Structure 1
Amino acid sequence: MAKFLLSLHVLVSVLFIGPVAVAVSMFPARARAALAGGTDGAPEAGSVRLLHRITQVYAGLGLAVPVLGIGTAQVMDVLGQSWLIVSMVLTALAALSLLLFVLPAQQAAVDALELADPQAPEHAKAVQGLRLLPMTAGVFNLLWAVVVVLMVIRPGSTTGA
């Protein structure tokens, strides 16, 4: 059962967190181009909306990752190990950065694209919100990278690497 749950946990991680990581990374540049306007703004606006939708949907699906992870840890009897606790804290921080910073900034940019007047205050606010978005996306992706490394290396584990 442990091997099945671990395989499912890894598969869900790749399929659900991977698209979020890519969409979050691509979003700022696409949004900046779309908000800059011009005749090429329509295709960029479509890609911005799509990237935001991918982030939303796969973030929700990504909730399966920690759920399966906790189930797997229980079956493997490693729930109290420090590497796993650190991984859970980092996962929670990644989720919080996504919920508190990335998704609201993306939503503000998508909302600004809907405005007819690019001089509206909401448009300026969205452009300003995009300044921190690449850094926030980088932090989100870095947190997940550290979690993956911890899952592979498992410091102090008696079962592996």
Structure 2
Amino acid sequence: MAKLLLSLHVLASVLFIGPVAVAVSMFPRRAQAALAAGDGQLQAAASARLLHRITQVYALLGLAVPLLGIGTAQVMGVMGDPWLITSIVLTAVAAALMLLVVVPGQQATIDSLDAPDNAEELARAGKGLRLLPMTAGVFNLLWAVVVVLMVVRPGSTTGA
């Protein structure tokens, strides 16, 4: 059972966290291009909308990763290990960033693109985009640390 859960956990992380990490990273640049172009570049706005949709859908699907991870940890008997607790905390921080900063920031930008007659709103959205690249970097760094913790597992007796 542990091997099945671990396989599903790894598969879910590759299929769900990978796309959301890429979409979150690409969104600020595409949104900035769309805001700068205004009505002139529909492709940039469509690209930003698509990346926002990918972020929303794959973030939701990504909930499977920690759920499968906790199930795997329980079956393997490692729930109290410090590396796992650290990974859980970092995953919670990444989820909070996604929920509280990334998705609302992206949504505000998309809302501004949907109302291009309001130049003031477009300018405000452009200023709001300043935080998203840094947040995307922190989000991806948190996941990278979690992956390293999953592979190295400090204190593990497996010899890895």
TM-score class, shorter: over 0.9
Q: CA deviation at 1:38?
A: 5.1
How far residue 32 of structure 1 moved from its aligned partner, in angstroms, is 0.2
Q: CA deviation at 1:40?
A: 4.6
Offset of residue 39 of structure 1 = 6.1
Q: How does 1:87-126 map to 2 (within 5 A)?
A: 87-120=87-120, 122-126=121-125
1:152 counterpart residue number: 151
SS of the equivalent of 1:27 reads: helix
Aligned-partner Cα distance in 1 for 2:159–2:92: 25
SS at match of 1:80: coil
Per-residue deviation, 1:124: 2.0
Contact 2:116 2:122 in 1 (8 A): no
Question: What is the count of residue pairs matched by the alignment?
Answer: 160
> RMSD value over aligned CA atoms?
1.1
Partners of 2:4 and 2:96 lie apart in 1 by: 29
Spell out structure 1 runs of 4+ moving beyond 2 A: none
- Unaligned 5+ segments in structure 2 are none
Question: Which residue does 2:77 correspond to in 1?
Answer: 77
Whichever residue aligns with residue 87 of structure 2, its letter is S
Aligned pairs for 1:3-152 within 5 A: 3-37=3-37, 40-120=40-120, 122-152=121-151
TM, length-normalised to structure 1: 0.96
User: What secondary structure is seen at the aligned counterpart in 2 of 1:155?
Assistant: coil
Q: Residues of 2 paired with 1:130 and 1:160: CA distance?
A: 44
Structure 1 unmatched ranges of 5 or more: none
Q: Is the 8 A contact 1:154 1:160 kept in 2?
A: no
